[in-house]
A and B are shown apart, each in its own frame.
Chain A
């Protein structure tokens, strides 16, 4: 048996030499994707978001407010003369939000007439919109506090007593697993493995599908001594070694080189990665076994692996989706990778926290068994359309 597996593996390596797509192509894609996402989110948190200000008041107070808003790290003020142009700019997406400072703003504050400050946020650009919203809200509260402080000082209240009056409650926020609200850390932790699962599924489907497409499957079966198990194991051996190496490098890249927060152990994350690699290969093999026509199988694989990103649930949590989709989310290895990652990298809960995900990922390995026979028939008889 071993010599057959070895023969198939050597045959696969020879195919690699002939067609660069398997090795150079897939590695190139992973490198491109990783470089893209790592550099794209390098800043961690966006800064200098354009915030429109329409200042109808033009008092020293309103100018001061504008300057202060401009000085925050998140915001950068764009001044407009009237609301109309500002609104059009927001509709175009060129400013994230608009603050409107009404006429007589400063005078009304001095006279305790409580002028209303209005602001508009463009919630269609999520990150920009919600950060600008936070920034403006903070600035208003600070300005409001400054007004209070001025009056209290005039009334002769001491600095110490004032703090209690101005700010009776303070919230101390602890962000578990991502202390800096870094978008790069949040998204890249899942986007890079997501990329990998995509490439694994597509490459594996392609590797098994081309045997049918170019009618080389009989040759493969000969090399494997007529056993489909040998053929599958021999081919997968090469891919497993390759993708495991890529996956482990990815884990090292994220947690050793880039020092992304990791509460638990890196060895567990490696285990997680290896299991995901195996599960993805199993899924790919199942797809190509169910539909032994290369062009169909690879289209299905593409549609499937793209869905993995959404149904992993790291953006919109799965529990907010309709119940039947919550069920479907378990058929994506990336979903289990994500749950494992949360337990290990964020909460460091160890084996007790993630053993279920290990079981789930291992269950994927059972998937290909029912279709092996079908694949064998397809390989020997070659009775499926090549197109």
Chain B
């Protein structure tokens, strides 16, 4: 019976401390304008802004110039067909290459297609005719459009010309079709049908916003506490040095709950506003969010214990935003990461969280699809929980020894004065 009482009393006290620490942290957040800016403009506003920015993720009708020295029916047909593609628009027809180059330099066009004089002749002689394209590489999307537009037309034209030639060589239509497209192919890009920049970028960016804003907010607060000579990790004084779990979990819960709301806004509401594909199940994504946010909380707790001044957070660590973004593998493929950076990427929750979100939300997988990432986040979260606890422990040891020393110094000082007075 007695034991039962001690246990309930312990649980009661535990919950009380936990709740007190959590509320204290919320108070700190609400009273700090800088953190509120990050949490409101950063976490709530940026997902909207990025969606607006990348709303039309498909670049259409890139302006190109055409220099047609061949001036034959084939080249004219080619130009017409290029103009009709979604990717390209023939904005200028130039008489000379010099003229086209000038337009290129003035950036009125982002590409040039050049037909040499013998283009038609070579086709008539049944040889290979060459045409040249000049691509603006200042953005790879211009290049991609120019390549795709001109190649689609080329493949189509090749088919037409081949059929003509086989017909001339005495093949029947059926035979020449069999030759020309011996292997018809069907291409599918199920998750991002038009290779839209929006879908590819935002799938990775949305959860990145969760991690980064939480990180900056939490580290800024820890820095402020240090500056004001508090500690970010003071234990409740009646506990005499135990109760690290309460501090870590209490602080974590404050951010966890806040970010569960922000995370749900980012993962469910923002995509719905912008008609962004949401192919994953609601509960699956919610489970993913829970794992990811828990992992992020302990990750931020651990690293925030190294911060001594608030503003230095941005100077030293804002660089991590683009770095972490590339480390998710959304652009440069994970299989081509240099070894060192691959290891480095395992330190960040976003590496797993963003990949899992891409696979779950946009590729329409289920929880079994993201099992490796969930396991990785669990392991990572557990390790970061231990390190965060260790940091609190070390901090308190340090504070206590400092306090003891201060008391000792005071006593010495008093003794000295006493002696003088004596």
Contact = CB atoms under 8 A, between A and B. Distances in A.
B338 A39 contact: yes
Interface in A17-76: 21, 25-26, 28-29, 32-33, 36-37, 39-43, 46-50
A159 to B, nearest CB: 13
A244 interface: no
6 contacts: A21-B309, A118-B185, A165-B169, A175-B135, A176-B104, A299-B314
Given A168-B128, A194-B322, A342 B182 contact: no
Contact of A176 (B136, B139, B199, B318): B136
Interface residues of A, number: 118
A295 B224 CA distance: 10
Contacts of A300: 37
B335 interface: yes
A48 B53 contact: no
A126 B319 contact: no
A91 B139 contact: no
A81 interface: no
Given A119-B185, A171-B150, A322-B55, A92 B140 contact: no
Contacts of A126: 195, 197, 200, 330-331
Interface in B156-215: 157-158, 161-162, 165-166, 169, 175, 177-193, 195-197, 199-201, 203
Given A175-B143, A316-B59, A170 B138 contact: no
A169 B332 contact: no
Interface stretch (A177-185, A231-239, A245-253): A177-185
Contacts of A270: none
A299 B370 CA distance: 34
Given A124-B200, A144-B183, A342-B107, A40 B311 contact: no
A199 interface: yes
A75 to B, nearest CB: 11
B155 to A, nearest CB: 8
B322 A309 contact: yes
Contacts of B60: 320
Considering the complex of A and B, which 9 residue pairs feature the smallest CB-CB distances, nearest first? Answer: A123-B192, A295-B34, A128-B333, A178-B137, A46-B336, A147-B182, A112-B178, A299-B37, A168-B161
Contacts, number: 341
A128 B192 CA distance: 13
A183 B34 contact: no
Contact of B104 (A128, A130, A186, A347): A347
B245 interface: no
B336 A173 contact: no
B372 interface: yes
A294 B224 CA distance: 12
Contacts of A173: 132-133, 135, 147
A18 to B, nearest CB: 13
A160 B296 CA distance: 64
A215 B58 CA distance: 51
A259 to B, nearest CB: 16
B105 interface: yes
B316 A209 contact: no
Contact of A298 (B57, B201, B314, B370): B314
Contacts of A219: none
B323 interface: yes
Given A120-B189, A203-B315, A295-B311, A165 B138 contact: no
Interface stretch (B38-46, B248-256, B286-294, B408-416): B38-46
